[in-house]
Amino acid sequence: MEHKPLDQLRSVADVQPRPLTRQERLQRWIDLLESNPARRLNSLGEIEYKPPAERALIREDNSPLTIAYEDPVLRADGLASDRLGDAMRYFELSEGQAHYALCSCLSGRTMDSAAFAQRLRNTTGNAGWQSAAGAWALAGLAVSLPGVIYLLS
């Protein structure tokens, strides 16, 4: 089998990358935010008080949405702008998830990039099942340990 660079293949075939899954899109955004964890980013100003049509148009310079939109991979995959409505559609965020992760009423006007990444991870379930399984295992151990000690003594 002969291997050729993607650029050469594009000249003879229509090579399209597969679209990213929601999980991959969110993880890429989180990774981008965590790549410069101390960077101060602007939150979105009190989005819950805006009418839905106006809320969709909200944007802030130097926000977590700016970080996502500056990424060529996310733009090529379909992220249309750094406006809240486009980001909610692309990342499949609910109103509540967007509010928790991005709104100034919960985070203040600015926050470290790593904190925004953690909020995204918390609200979208990107913390992974390992965290939940570990928490349940620890809780089970805490509940059962006194009984085991009593039986063994």
pLDDT single digits (tens) 58-95: 999 999 999 999 999 999 999 999 999 999 999 999 99
Flag the least confident range among 3-7, 39-43, 59-63, 74-78: 3-7
The pLDDT value recorded for residue 83 is: 97
Q: Is the pTM of this model over 0.75?
A: no
**Separation between Cα atoms, residue 93 and residue 123, nearest integer Å:** 9
Quick: pLDDT tens for 112-152. 999 999 999 999 886 544 455 555 666 666 677 677 677 77
| Domain regions of the chain by residue span | 9-127
Residues 6+ apart with CB under 8 A from 153: none
Task: Give the separation between CA 153 and CA 149, rounded to whole angstroms.
Answer: 6
Q: How many CB atoms lie within 10 A of CB 52?
A: 8
